[in-house]
Structure 1
Amino acid sequence: MVRRNNIKLKIWDVAGQPRYRNLWERYCKGSDAIIFVIDSHDKEHLADAKFELHNLLGEKGLVGIPLLVLGNKNDLPGHAPIEKIISDLSLDTITNRPVSCYSCSMKSQHNLDVVIKWLTKIAS
């Protein structure tokens, strides 16, 4: 549980390993938002991330739930810029829900306030 001002966020960190991916829908169902975090420094796996993200969004029980994609690790040199993340994940083709994408660093907390503001707006 994360508290920021008068906002309370319950966050599920569901593992990205293949053996756990069949559980993702259960955790996302009934949520106010889906947060999909990728390692923006690991550009080799963007195609895998795209496949898994679009698989998840295709689940009937998740239709319309807002999506926030975070390109984490922007503190590392050579990370994928936000434009590449949007393009490689085909985020601009998703039309059945609000979608936003930010570059961030959980280590340095870069853009954390922007992410919290977006989540607060969506949940209100």
Structure 2
Amino acid sequence: MGSMCSVLSKQPAKILVLGIDGAGKTSLLYTLKGNNDMISPTVGFNVETVEPLEGVFFELFDVGGTEKVRNLWIHHIENTKGLVYVVDSNDEEQIEESRKELFKFLKNEEMKGIPIVIIANKQDLPNALSTTDLTNRMGFHTLTSHRWHIQAASATTGEGVFESMKKMSNMIKRSK
């Protein structure tokens, strides 16, 4: 554990937090900050430094997910160490759009090899797809150029959120 702390604590690792609008990116961010009382949709982006695990610091870039803003995602790639991609697993209508946006974004040369944690968010809702169903529907098994992990989570309850950050930390450590 000591080496992970030294690798990630010198300077916070930059993590992009992306997903289409309404997926729960900002809820995730503020759950990690310990404050998810008043959350409104992100216009532009939020940047927060968090310590999700003792001695591990991430600088999270929560970039808005509206259709207009998605074209700006590319401008935040520089120095990115990991991608957290948030999917509303309870909204069947948005699954395909979310898949298309992720795979389009991953075509950027700068993203090659960047570890990805996919958050299957809103697992606390009754119609949420399981991580297995979401993996199949979104074709994550085709992500062969990236180390990836899918995590069932609920950004509002905190379930799975810190586990996902631990997984990201371990993947960043292994990719160094």
Short-chain TM bin:
over 0.9
Name the amino acid aligned to 1:2.
V
Equivalences for 1:1-124 in 2 at 5 Å?
A: 1-3=49-51, 4-124=53-173
Please, what is the CA RMSD of the aligned residues?
A: 1.1
How many residues align? The count is: 124
Stretches of structure 1 that go unaligned for 5 or more consecutive residues are: none
Stretches of structure 2 that go unaligned for 5 or more consecutive residues are: 1-48
The structure with more strand, counted as a fraction of residues: 2
Q: Distance in 2 between matches of 1:94 and 1:123?
A: 17
Would you say the 8 A contact 1:29–1:62 is kept in 2? no
Q: Percent identity?
A: 23
Name the amino acid aligned to 2:119.
L
Following TM superposition, the consecutive aligned residue runs of length 4 or more in structure 1 with deviations greater than 6 angstroms are none
Instruction: Note the C-alpha offset of 1:28.
Output: 2.9
After superposition, give the CA deviation of every residue in 1:69-120 in whole Å (9 maximum; x if it has no partner): 1111111111111111101111001101101111100111111231121111
Q: Distance in 1 between matches of 2:168 and 2:102?
A: 19
Tell me the TM-score normalised to structure 1 length: 0.94
Tell me the TM-score normalised to structure 2 length: 0.67
Query: Which segment drifts farther, 20-29 or 93-102?
Result: 20-29
Q: Distance in 1 between matches of 2:85 and 2:70?
A: 12
